[in-house]
Amino acid sequence: MAVGTAARGAGQRARTTYRRRRRRRRRGWIPVLLTALVLAAGFWLWRANTGGYRVALDAGHGGDDPGAMGLIAETELTETTARYLEELLRADENYTVILCRDYGEGASSGERGRRAARRGAQLLLSIHGNSSQDGTARGFECYPQLAASETHADSLRFAQLIADGMAGAGAPLRGDGGIRYASYDEAGVKQIGEEADAAGTTFGVLEQAGCPAVLAEQCFVTNAEDVAAFAGEEGCRRAAEVYYRAICRYFGTQPMI
């Protein structure tokens, strides 16, 4: 009897130990599963916020700096266009938008470029409006990075895509097919020309972007024909669509419009 009782007791203890080990193993999977779920959720959240090509949009001027004044203020043109372009890019899963400044606020040209660089922009578009004293000048022109820039070739390719699109939308092209170069000498004097290898530096937002970047002079805010075509709600929307298609062509994605 003592032997049988001992045997039964040993068997019971073995079964109890086995069940405890199984429970511990099952409980051990819980933190592993929770960790996996947290990592998966974090990954998809990261994808939602950073997925796709990162495009920086710079609405020129802003804050206390309205830019050029004409039939409309330059900042009215730049912010309206940037909003429409942002809307198009955010609706396209291929792109993540980086704003170089918040709407209604200002920042220096260099700081806007540095903000894009810090957030890993792969392309930057700086939107501006032009002006003239007598109001007769009109048309589109854009400024790629200078030849000394490591990203000059891609910047020029993007500029050509934009200029082609604006010409197709009916804008007269200024400069060499809509493309010009701006450079500042050591005294800070700006020169405008057609040569990519101009000495000096160019606009701060292009210098600091850390990626291919183009500054676009969308139209003359001092010219009635330009304002009618490429300013105001419909004109800014038209220009934003041109920019969006150029961005899609640059990256090789299919535009939604």
Are 245 and 255 in contact by the 8 Å Cβ rule? The answer is: yes
34 within 8 A of 76, measured Cβ to Cβ: no
Global pTM reads 0.81
Under DSSP, is residue 117 helix (H, G, I), strand (E, B) or coil?
helix
What's the CA gap between 198 and 214, in Å, rounded?
16
Q: Which residues contact 129 (CB under 8 A, 6 or more apart)?
A: 60, 67, 68, 70, 72, 74, 77, 78, 217, 218, 219, 220, 221, 231
Sorted by where each begins, the domain ranges of the chain are 1-50, 53-251
Q: How far is CA 158 from the centre of its chain?
A: 13
CATH T-level fold of 53-251: Aminopeptidase (3.40.630)
H-run or E-run covering 114: helix 109-118
Distance CA 207, CA 124 (A): 11
CB atoms within 10 A of CB 16: 10
- Residue 43 pLDDT: 40
Q: How far apart are CA 20 and CA 38, in angstroms?
A: 28
Q: Which residue has the tokens 């090509």?
A: 53
The two structure tokens encoding residue 234: 């419909």
DSSP 8-state code for residue 108 = -
pLDDT tens track, the chain, 257 positions: 555 555 566 667 666 666 767 666 666 555 555 555 544 444 444 444 457 999 999 999 999 999 999 999 999 999 999 999 999 999 999 999 999 999 999 899 999 999 999 999 999 999 999 999 999 999 999 999 999 999 999 999 999 999 999 999 999 999 999 999 999 999 999 999 999 999 999 999 999 999 999 999 999 999 999 999 999 999 999 999 999 999 999 999 999 99
What the block records as the tokens of 23 is: 């429970």
Q: How far apart are the first and last CA of the chain?
A: 89
Does residue 200 come out as left (phi exceeding 0), alpha (psi in the -120 to 50 range) or beta? Answer: left
- 120 phi/psi in degrees, rounded to 5: 75, 35
Q: What is the pLDDT of residue 51?
A: 74
